[in-house]
Structure 1
Amino acid sequence: MNTPHWKCGADLVVKQLEQHGIKQVFGIPGAKIDRVFDSLVDSNIETVVVRHEANAAFMAAAVGRLTGKAGVAIATSGPGCSNLATGIATATSEGDPLVALGGSVKSADRLKLVHQSMDTVTMFNPITKFCAEIDSSKSISETMVNAFRHAESGRPGSAFLTFPMDILNNAVDSPILVPKSKFNLGGANNDAIKEAVTLLLMAKNPVILLGLQASYPDNALSLQKLLDICPLPIVGTYQSAGAIAQRHFPLFAGRIGLFNNQPGDELLSHADLVITLGYSPIEYEPSLWNHNNANIIHIDEIPAEIDLAYCPDLELTGNIKLTLDNLTQRFAKQSTSQITLSNNTRQVLEKIRQQRETLQQNSYFRQGSPIHPLTIIHEMQDIIDNDVTLCIDMGSFHIWLARYLYSFRARQMLISNGQQTMGVALPWGIGASFVRPSDKIISVSGDGGFMQSSMELETAVRLNTNILHIIWVDNAYNMVEMQEQEKYGRYSGVKFGAIDFKRYAESFGAKGFSVECASQLRSILHEAMAVDGPAVLAIPVDYSDNAKLMEHIDYNLII
């Protein structure tokens, strides 16, 4: 068989992307990578031009989180690549599969101080799962295949490849490489599953702690089947949102993260057995929740990251779905009457039920301006249907949403708590729109986070993305402010000027809306939701209760 001839390495790069099933790439061209952009013109891959490289990585990461297949971002040499860094680090921390391709100076100049020379491999090594420079045209195919495999396997994350300019421009004889088999990981072994059942039946206060990988759709369905026959109390990290079904909501003690003062934290503090499912310590440090040295069963595709507060007694390592299915089958043979909730667990879950009921009844009646977070959440909850995908930025508003906005659809709510990166919401929403074109996309940010990626409103308008971006406005970096106030009794470096976000959105060609008081919120929110295309809604928010987010648990605290 004759080896295919490619007029340039860039053509082979693009053909490998096609073979991997890539539908779109996100990026900005430049002289060291523009040959790839030229080759993309003759492919079936859509080129999505963005306004900043970090946002290209965010968009690609959203595609990765929602599909399980790596999204692709492309940037040119020097600052083009360095601008990718925040998006690459965020994707690795959040477990989002992403492959980033960067240009670089020609091979002969790589050790010289020439225009846009930069050792990107050394820069990206600490924040990727796989990082390499293509040093030969003939290694393009095999290196790209391995980059995708690393990005998508185990706990997913980022891979980065840099292509010297001459590698992309020169002709090459090379086959397209297509892996002959998929990476198949079996479930945990039967002896470990049997031991897990024994430990669980012996426990007096068991709790399931859900992590990001629990919210992967197949894993979530298997979890729900397990809970049907083994109704255990559940807590989840912010990234686990959507993993449980609504029928299991009475067992759910809420999401935990950042401040160790939630009902889920109380449940964990009394637990004698914690079953972690698809959990990584970066989501919520074990030292914050494992004070009593509880027994731990670690269920994940990769071994546990051991520390003093997280040393599992048993690790069920393997395909999470298959492991859960095997556990379910094993429990089906047991007497479910042996699974009983302790008095303390039942009391905590009942207090949570009462709090949720009271919040539902009372939060809408908070009036005036600015508007209390619970009033905004009450109205947002009403529009979060199964045909909505929600992308949440970083800020104090993200704590309110993580604690009080509920979702029962796997990966319906994209939220960051690993790097806690500001500016992710709008680009995540644009990326999500490619995967879920029939969904209404809602992205939410504070005014500080929004202005870190607001230039992508132009991208959303150009693509006619069906996205509503909601801005919680307080003219400050409020999450920093509330923590400074708590620690020092004053704040520093957090205030900035006001922006007319309605007019700002309209200047991009998007629909702009603003709310002045709580009585307007419902009607204007629904009007903004009805827009077919990009829209922005600015809401003045009353953060006067933020200090209570950090106080010790009180089930009536913020009512």
Structure 2
Amino acid sequence: MSNENHTQQWAHGADMVVKQLEAQGVKQVFGIPGAKIDKVFDSLLDSSIKIIPVRHEANAAFMAGAVGRITGKAGVALVTSGPGCSNLITGMATANSEGDPVVALGGAVKRADKAKLVHQSMDTVAMFSPVTKYAVEVPSSDAIAEVVSNAFRAAEQGRPGSAFVSLPQDIADQPASGNILPAGSPPALGAAPDAMINDVAKMIAAAENPVFLLGLMASRQENIEALHLLLEKSHIPVTSTYQAAGAVNQQHFSRFAGRVGLFNNQAGDRLLHLADLVICIGYSPVEYEPAMWNTGNARLVHIDVLPAYEERNYIPDVELIGDIASTLDKLASKIEKPLILTPRASEILIDRCNQRDLLNRKGAQLSQFAIHPLRIVRAMQDIVNSDVTLTVDMGSFHIWIARYLYSFRARQMMISNGQQTMGVSLPWAIGAWLVNPGRKVVSVSGDGGFLQSSMELETAVRLGANVLHIIWVDNAYNMVAIQEEKKYQRLSGVNFGPVDFKAYAEAFGAKGFAVGSTAELEPTLRAAMDTEGPAVVAIPVDYSDNPLLMGQLNLNQIL
């Protein structure tokens, strides 16, 4: 019997690309075709992969990012050369800093034309290298499988992120030879060394005010059970970055000080400033700048799949590197008794609990119109149950929601804080719905961010996506405005004109709603939630209390 390996022949390199995508388990690709990449789109018609045309390339990356964050498997964007690739950059940079696995394939001019002045010629590998984990051009047809396979490995392994593959037109169009590579499983990591875990257990036993700081990787589904066991055994107070929303369960909620990010004035910040030991689990400095929370008075422990990215304000005393769940399980087994809170830590957590209760009892009593942010958050809390996924754009509303709207399911809430990218929420919502079409998705933006990606309403309508998009309307880039006002006592470039969002939504074929009074808020949201398919609700918001967000806000000042 011959042991000779037979190399498969392909009529087009594009056919090989598509087969490699199928081997990676890709279910759909998001993108816009063009002459340099259209053979790949053509080959997709003969595959099991669904083509989802989008209205802007950045949104293709956002949708792919949502697929990646929720499933752990890289979502895929497919775009043409030149501006098709350059439009993609914001989405890829966002995915990379948010830790969302995304693979993008971009068309390129023929290799023979790279040194010529031809249209849509760009050095896209140089463009994407600074904002991705991996950026490579396919050099020859026999390298297609290797380059694409390694793009998925880079995007999905370690701390996930984005990867870019440049595909010259001649490689896609011409015959190719080579074999498809099987999708590799992530390498099985073991727990951190026992001796170092023992050291951390001793540090916990000796600490008076230990605190857990949870980052994105802590909220991965494979880590949640171990995290909850550690919280249950230790009773150590916990705070989280925005990206780790939903990682803390209801059983430990009394010791959850809320999320931290942007301005360092939250209960979680107060616990971090009080701490003599901070244990960071799955955290990256891009999620919340260490200078904002690290006083330098606490010992630091870093628990992650990767060593810490050191900077002057983040130099861990101990690093537990390995499989996070296995490490947390071993650490939990070393906890001999639950922590007894110091009076100061108890005071912070009790105050936080009282603030939550105050909002729950009195939030609906805020009666001004336009509507107070806390009234909207309180109304949203009633519709965002455990079966709903929530995607959040960037703006003032982002802070109100991140601080005062709670979730108890990991990856239930998607918030951008790495790049703080406007326009992400609607395309994220479409991607999230595609992962689980039986689950309602609520997305929320300001009127500024919405119009940066609102063209994807057509995509949502075409797909029949069961997505409710909520717009907080104030005719301004208000998050910028509050910072300008504080720094310069005047505003520049933040105001814009009104839009009839109900009519706008209906023009796309979506169901449109507009809240015309404070009393209409809750019934309008319920009616919109009951709509099958895409719906949009416009809510006028009164941001006059926004300056309070930048100080030590107590809800008694408002409620």
Question: Normalized against structure 2, the TM-score is what?
Answer: 0.98
Distance 1:272 1:180, change over 3 A: closer
Q: What SS class does the counterpart of residue 170 from structure 2 fall into?
A: helix
CA deviations on 1:155-184 (whole Å, 9 max, x unpaired) are: 100000001100001111211111565422
Whole-Å Cα distance in 1 between the matches of residues 241 and 557 of structure 2?
21
Whole-Å Cα distance in 1 between the matches of residues 357 and 183 of structure 2?
53
Distance 1:283 1:557, change over 3 A: farther
Q: What SS class does the counterpart of residue 282 from structure 1 fall into?
A: coil
The corresponding residue for 1:458 is 458
Distance 1:242 1:539, change over 3 A: same
Distance 1:44 1:209, change over 3 A: same
User: Is the CA contact 2:157–2:186 (under 8 Å) kept in the aligned structure 1?
Assistant: no
After TM superposition, give the deviation of residue 99 of structure 1 in Å.
0.2
The corresponding residue for 1:349 is 349
Q: Summarize the alignment of residues 94-109 of structure 1 with structure 2, pairs less than 5 Å apart.
A: 94-109=98-113
User: Is the CA contact 1:548–1:557 (under 8 Å) kept in the aligned structure 2?
Assistant: no
Whole-Å Cα distance in 1 between the matches of residues 184 and 348 of structure 2?
52
After TM superposition, give the deviation of residue 345 of structure 1 in Å.
0.5
The corresponding residue for 2:442 is 442
Distance 1:215 1:181, change over 3 A: closer
User: Is the CA contact 1:96–1:157 (under 8 Å) kept in the aligned structure 2?
Assistant: yes
The size of the alignment, in residue pairs, is: 555
1:149 lines up with 2:153 in the alignment: yes
Whole-Å Cα distance in 2 between the matches of residues 277 and 8 of structure 1?
46
Q: Summarize the alignment of residues 246-325 of structure 1 with structure 2, pairs less than 5 Å apart.
A: 246-325=250-329
Whole-Å Cα distance in 2 between the matches of residues 143 and 202 of structure 1?
50
After TM superposition, give the deviation of residue 293 of structure 1 in Å.
3.2
The corresponding residue for 1:33 is 37
Whole-Å Cα distance in 1 between the matches of residues 554 and 320 of structure 2?
36
User: Is the CA contact 2:460–2:534 (under 8 Å) kept in the aligned structure 1?
Assistant: yes
Q: Out of 204-213 and 218-227, give the one that drifted further.
A: 218-227
The corresponding residue for 1:129 is 133
1:372 lines up with 2:372 in the alignment: yes
Q: What SS class does the counterpart of residue 453 from structure 1 fall into?
A: helix
In structure 2, give the amino acid aligned to 1:43.
S
Q: What SS class does the counterpart of residue 275 from structure 1 fall into?
A: strand
Whole-Å Cα distance in 2 between the matches of residues 497 and 85 of structure 1?
28
CA deviations on 1:272-291 (whole Å, 9 max, x unpaired) are: 00000111111111101011
1:163 lines up with 2:167 in the alignment: yes
1:7 lines up with 2:11 in the alignment: yes
After TM superposition, give the deviation of residue 555 of structure 1 in Å.
5.9
The corresponding residue for 1:120 is 124
The corresponding residue for 1:468 is 468
User: Is the CA contact 1:242–1:407 (under 8 Å) kept in the aligned structure 2?
Assistant: yes
User: Is the CA contact 2:359–2:555 (under 8 Å) kept in the aligned structure 1?
Assistant: no
The corresponding residue for 1:245 is 249
The corresponding residue for 1:410 is 410
For structure 2, the residue ranges without an aligned partner over 5 or more in a row are none
For structure 1, the residue ranges without an aligned partner over 5 or more in a row are none
Whole-Å Cα distance in 1 between the matches of residues 520 and 311 of structure 2?
50
Q: Out of 445-454 and 378-387, give the one that drifted further.
A: 378-387
The corresponding residue for 1:18 is 22
User: Is the CA contact 2:358–2:555 (under 8 Å) kept in the aligned structure 1?
Assistant: no
Whole-Å Cα distance in 1 between the matches of residues 45 and 95 of structure 2?
27
Question: Normalized against structure 1, the TM-score is what?
Answer: 0.98
1:71 lines up with 2:75 in the alignment: yes
Whole-Å Cα distance in 1 between the matches of residues 116 and 380 of structure 2?
55
In structure 1, give the amino acid aligned to 2:405.
L
What CA RMSD, in Å, does the superposition of the two structures yield over aligned residues? Answer: 1.0
Distance 1:555 1:500, change over 3 A: closer
After TM superposition, give the deviation of residue 442 of structure 1 in Å.
0.3
The corresponding residue for 1:534 is 534
Whole-Å Cα distance in 2 between the matches of residues 180 and 314 of structure 1?
31
User: Is the CA contact 1:548–1:558 (under 8 Å) kept in the aligned structure 2?
Assistant: no
User: Is the CA contact 2:37–2:169 (under 8 Å) kept in the aligned structure 1?
Assistant: yes
Whole-Å Cα distance in 1 between the matches of residues 331 and 83 of structure 2?
49
Q: Summarize the alignment of residues 203-214 of structure 1 with structure 2, pairs less than 5 Å apart.
A: 203-214=207-218
The corresponding residue for 1:428 is 428
Q: What SS class does the counterpart of residue 421 from structure 1 fall into?
A: coil
Runs of 4 or more above 6 Å deviation: none
- Share of identical aligned residues, percent? 60
In structure 2, give the amino acid aligned to 1:27.
G
